[in-house]
Amino acid sequence: MVPHPYGWLSILPPVIAIVLAITTRRASVSLLMGIFCGALILAGGNPLAALFDTCEVHLWPTFIEPGKLRVFSFTVLMGAMIGVICRCGGMQGLIRIISPFAKTRRGGQLVTWLLGLLIFFDDYANTILLGSTMRPLCDRLKISREKLAYLVDSTAAPVAGLSLLSTWIAVEIEYIQEGLQSLGVATDLTAVDLFLGSIPYRFYMLLSLVLIPLIALTGRDFGPMLKAERRRLNEPMPDESDLDGLGEAADLKVPARWYNAVLPIAATLCVVMIILYSTGLQSLNLQPGDPTPLLRDVLGGAKSSMALQYGALVGLVLVIVLTRAQSLLTSEQILQAAGQGAKIVLPAIIILWCASTLSRMTSNRSVDGVAATTEYEFKEQRLYTGDFLAQIFVSGAEESSKGEPSGSLALTAKLLPTAVFLLAAVLSFATGSSFGTMGILLPIVVTITHALLTAGSGGVLPTDPILLGAVGGVLAGAVFGDHCSPISDTTILSSQSCACDHMAHVLTQLPYAFLVGCVTVGLGTLPLGWGVSVWVLLPLQIVALVGFLLLIGKRVVVS
């Protein structure tokens, strides 16, 4: 095995970025410092070369990468659309429609959660739409921006990751398939079977979706979130004209019509789904007479970033047409509203750009996104952080699978679901990328788990709980680390769409993520390895969450 070119230095840039972000509460500057530190390592300590590489090798190629440009474009267009919707009174009209179902703080949190479950096809769309739409209502109900950001963030990735019809499914199945192809032996296992079978074993994702209604129903919080909620309750009610935080609908005396918000948002969702389906169908290259493909296969090959971009564009055009047709705003006022909405999301784009740059720097692909054909082929441009962490934690398991003596880090079959869950969490936290974590670990974990379970003889059933627990552990651990990381793209978008201070969102969400993570390990991956049925563990986990909230959590509203 070729020695890692940077060793422990490879984890220094993300560590610096995370520590600085927590201490300074300035995410963009902290990320830039982490990027420069990484460039300095890659340049052999030459500061001038590192400065040049920071701009030309890392920041600029990330910015002009087509997929990222489309995501940035989607974010700006969504901001502009929300700005016009708010200015023309559409958001106020929508809030009036939703208000009967969310008259209390409890109802507001439950409605936000339910709407998050409905936008199941993409985590970016979920985050931007839900945060921007529900912010005025949550302001009115005196639900803190920190709580709203938590509701949005803890719904978006889990529901997209679990959904059978989302932009995540292709990535997840592809990485599982890579692991199966590298087994080197014939097997009846299929990537789709493992993907579907692992759904009940993705404890963290399932519990994240369960904890939200439990918090809403009990009215209890803990940690920094409790302080944020009580602080919000003691603040004066915001002026009605500024409830949306974007427009001046009340000052302009425009009528509050709900369809001026619902129609553009619905058009955005419809166009996204249509483009996802059409591009996915095209990617399958079906011939006459071929059987009708499954919807999940179609969405698996779809161009998600293109769909999001044009969906947001159609939504923006439609709200402009509706506004002009009803003579609600002048052309100048529409431009001002769109510009103000786009301006609000610019900080998110800057942070997202820097976070993506750092994530790519720590990856194992070239600047152009090409996969390596030899070990550490792109070591002059990439730090291979994920490979280093995986190498440390997985080397013992590889020794065990070969029947050789294993070291202190050796992973046994019983501990494997727990080990891969924690490893995925660490890797996702350090890189800020759940997809990158899945790509690094899933092929390795599938191969090692199969080897451990077969020990050179016999086969593995697709229903084997250790195998499904290991696959589910990677997928769930990647989301766990993503929720905890201040350099994660969905964490950034959640705080920005909810107009919440980014580090305030990170610090208030951490205790909730850790609670779910601890229950996942203590009543999930560990007992699973010793043969406890997943159908026994899932109810026990819910009981544990309820017990913790009742014993440790405190009511936000003290009666």
The 10s digit of each residue's pLDDT in 358-391 is 878 887 778 877 777 777 888 888 888 767 766 6
**How much is the pLDDT for 348?**
67
**How much is the pLDDT for 406?**
43
Looking at the domain assignment, is residue 132 inside a domain?
Answer: yes
**How much is the pLDDT for 409?**
33
Number of structural domains the chain divides into: 1
Q: Across residues 353-357, what is the average pLDDT? A: 80
Looking at the domain assignment, is residue 142 inside a domain?
Answer: yes
Query: Which amino acid appears at position 213 of this protein?
Result: P
The 10s digit of each residue's pLDDT in 436-479 is 777 777 777 887 777 777 754 456 777 889 889 999 999 999 99
Looking at the domain assignment, is residue 314 inside a domain?
Answer: yes
| Listed residue (156, 359, 153, 328) closest to 252, CA to CA | 328
**How much is the pLDDT for 210?**
95
Which percentage of the chain shows pLDDT scores above 70?
Answer: 86
Alpha carbon distance 343, 336 (integer Å)? 10
Beta-carbon contacts of residue 140 (< 8 Å; ≥ 6 apart): 95, 99, 237, 243
Out of 18-27, 77-86, 212-221, least confident range:
18-27
Q: Across residues 71-91, what is the average pLDDT? A: 83
Looking at the domain assignment, is residue 257 inside a domain?
Answer: yes
The 10s digit of each residue's pLDDT in 266-304 is 898 889 889 888 888 888 888 787 787 777 677 667 777
Q: Which residue has the higher pLDDT, 317 or 398?
A: 317
Out of 143-157, 196-210, 282-296, 397-411, least confident range:
397-411
Beta-carbon contacts of residue 187 (< 8 Å; ≥ 6 apart): 180, 450, 459, 460
Distance separating the N- and C-terminal Cα atoms of the chain: 64
The 10s digit of each residue's pLDDT in 195-212 is 888 999 999 999 999 999
Looking at the domain assignment, is residue 136 inside a domain?
Answer: yes
**How much is the pLDDT for 394?**
54
pLDDT at 116 over 70: yes
**How much is the pLDDT for 455?**
58
Highest mean pLDDT among 33-42, 95-104, 459-468: 33-42
pLDDT at 509 over 60: yes
pLDDT at 183 over 60: yes
**Helix or strand or coil: residue 182?**
coil
Q: Across residues 525-538, what is the average pLDDT? A: 92
Q: Six-digit token pair at 102?
A: 């969310």
Sign of CA dihedral 552, 127, 229, 91: negative
pLDDT at 559 over 60: no
Q: Six-digit token pair at 404?
A: 């050789």
Q: Across residues 115-128, what is the average pLDDT? A: 77
Average predicted confidence (pLDDT) for the chain: 82
Q: How many CB atoms lie within 10 A of CB 164?
A: 13
**How much is the pLDDT for 3?**
82
**Helix or strand or coil: residue 555?**
strand
For residue 331, count CB atoms less than 10 angstroms from its CB and return exposed for 0-12, middle for 13-18, buried for 19 or more. exposed
Domain that holds residue 254: 66-167+243-361
**How much is the pLDDT for 387?**
74
**How much is the pLDDT for 405?**
42
pLDDT at 26 over 80: no
Looking at the domain assignment, is residue 270 inside a domain?
Answer: yes
Looking at the domain assignment, is residue 494 inside a domain?
Answer: no
Tokens 């109810």 sit on residue: 539
Which percentage of the chain shows pLDDT scores above 90?
Answer: 29
pLDDT at 392 over 70: no
**How much is the pLDDT for 252?**
55
pLDDT at 325 over 50: yes
Q: How confident is the model at residue 182 (pLDDT cuts 50, 70, 90)?
A: low
Bridge partner residues of 220 (DSSP): 555
Looking at the domain assignment, is residue 311 inside a domain?
Answer: yes
